Amino acid sequence: MLKYMKHTTFNWKICGHENIVDFLGSSIANNNMSQAYLFYGQSGLGKYFMAKEFGKAVLCNDNFKPCQKCTSCQQIEKGGHFDFFELKRIADEETGKLKRDISMEQVRDLISKLKQGSLLGGHKVAIINGAQYLNINGANALLKTLEEPTLKTVIILIVDDISRIPKTVVSRCQPIKFLPVSIKKIESYLIQLGAEKDEAKILSRISNGLPGKAIDFYYNADLRNDYLKDVNNFLALISMPLSQRWKIVNEILSGNADGEIVFDNFLCLARDLLLINNSNETSASNFNFLEKESAIASQQDEKTIEKIIENIKFAKLALRQNISFKNALENLIINL
């Protein structure tokens, strides 16, 4: 719990990122908020949750911000606040899959809402989640709003990689970088949520410093099962000859897997192999698979594992360049 000035208290239920909480809380208490922020850092760090808590605190009328109980806080939680807006990629009506980008029409609609007066005479808050997916026209339209912002408006852009945002947009925002959180802090946070100690230990380790990922694992059994599938698939793929790998590839592709998540999980396992190869197995994330990983690591030299890591990173990059998951995965499998 943090206190600012004389009558303002903040209690954001954030795992780690204390310096960011302190900075944003102070800006609210002293009424010197920027009109645009850019939250950046890898996926799973809790950027969206921070943005939402910040937005709640900006709009909350209680001295205990956010109180989570007032009409404003409740409306934001239910998605019905007149002065709080969220923008992200939407699903295609025909395929059900997320569209390639955030459209110009979506941005125009947001700008129109921000230009209208606040219903309660206070601030308006907008979160653009996955701002790297803004198309060129949408980014240009947003830039005009950032250059000539509406009074009492706070816009928060959320991205995984700041290089994926036009520099002109970055220059108009207050950039805030999110870094990984210590395993101990994540473990403690999960226990506060109700996790058993052993469960918290496992989930905090496989989250690799990403509190958002750990929390998702805790609440979502399907996500944990998907992760276990990725672990077993990777350990099997790297252990067998190329001719035998295609059955597993087809199983991965027949599901509804998120390619970037699959590659992130593969990358985590490959880094474990490198740690084990360098006699640093105590730092491995997947310590409950240590025996299997150690057997594989003993058959690989350091350069081979480093090459595998580079190939997985290349596969992730291919997805961002609109290469299909199928093509990126097949290319990776050939080069494992």
Strands (E), 167-298: 174-177
| Residue range 60-74: mean pLDDT, rounded | 85
Chosen domain end from 177, 202, 237: 177
Tell me if 217 sits within 8 A of 44, measured CB to CB. Answer: no
The reported pLDDT for the residue numbered 170 is 93
* Residue 194 C-beta-side C-alpha neighbours within 13 Å: 2
Residue 187, in any domain of the structure: no
Ranges of H-type helices in the chain? 18-29, 47-59, 71-78, 104-115, 136-147, 167-170, 183-193, 197-206, 211-219, 221-237, 242-254, 259-277, 290-297, 302-320, 325-334
Per-residue model confidence (pLDDT) at position 2: 55
Is the per-residue pLDDT at 8 higher than 80? no
In a domain, 240, yes or no: yes
Termini Cα distance of the chain: 48
Q: What CATH number did the domain enclosing 147 receive?
A: 3.40.50.300
Hey, what are 72's tokens? 């404003």
Number of domains in the chain: 2
- Asked if the model's pLDDT at residue 309 lies above 60, the reply is yes
Strands 36-40 and 174-177: parallel
What the block records as the tokens of 210 is 């990403």
Q: Are 282 and 288 in contact (CB under 8 A)?
A: no
Q: Say if residue 103 is in the same domain as residue 251.
A: no
**Burial call 22-54: b when 16+ CB within 10 Å, e when fewer:** eebbbbbbeeebbbbbbbbbbbbbbbbbbbbbb
What pTM was computed for the model? 0.85
Query: 23 in a domain, yes or no?
Result: yes
Domain range enclosing 264: 220-334
Please give the angle made by the CA atoms of 184, 263 and 259, to the nearest 5 degrees.
120
Q: Which of 109, 142, 177 is the C-terminal boundary of a domain?
A: 177
In this predicted model, what pLDDT tens digit does every residue of 210-238 receive, in sequence order? 999 999 999 998 888 898 899 999 999 98
- Domain boundary (161, 177, 193) is at 177
Mean pLDDT, the chain, integer? 88
Residue 193 and residue 167 in contact, taking contact as beta carbons nearer than 8 Å: no
Mean pLDDT, residues 323-327 taken together: 91
Q: What is the pLDDT of residue 99?
A: 79
CB 88 within 8 A of CB 102: yes
* Residue 33 and residue 153 in one domain: yes
For 118-153, what is each residue's pLDDT tens digit? 777 788 999 999 999 988 888 888 888 888 878 889
- Tell me, what CATH number does 329's domain have? 1.20.272.10
E strands along the chain, which residues?
2-4, 8-10, 36-40, 64-65, 84-87, 124-129, 153-159, 174-177
Q: Given a cut of 90, is residue 52 above it in pLDDT?
A: yes
Statement to judge: residues 151 and 230 lie in one domain: no
Cα 326 to Cα 255: distance, rounded to the nearest angstrom: 12
Would you state the pLDDT for residue 12? 83
Are 139 and 169 in contact by the 8 Å Cβ rule? The answer is yes
Q: How many CB atoms lie within 10 A of CB 126?
A: 23
- Residue 125 has a pLDDT of 93
Q: What are phi and psi of 323, to 5 degrees?
A: -75, 140
Same domain, 224 and 162: no
DSSP strand pairing (36-40 vs 153-159): parallel
Q: Does residue 91 lie in a domain region?
A: yes
Can you give the pLDDT at residue 91? 79
Residue-level pLDDT at 97? 75
What is the per-residue pLDDT for 1?
52
Checking DSSP bridges between strand 64-65 and strand 124-129, what pairing results, if any?
A: unpaired
67 belongs to a structural domain: yes
Give me the torsion for CA of 180, 162, 39, 156, rounded to 10°.
-160
Instruction: Enter the DSSP assignment of 289.
Output: G
Q: What Rg, from alpha-carbon coordinates, does the chain have?
A: 22
Residue 183 counted as domain residue: no
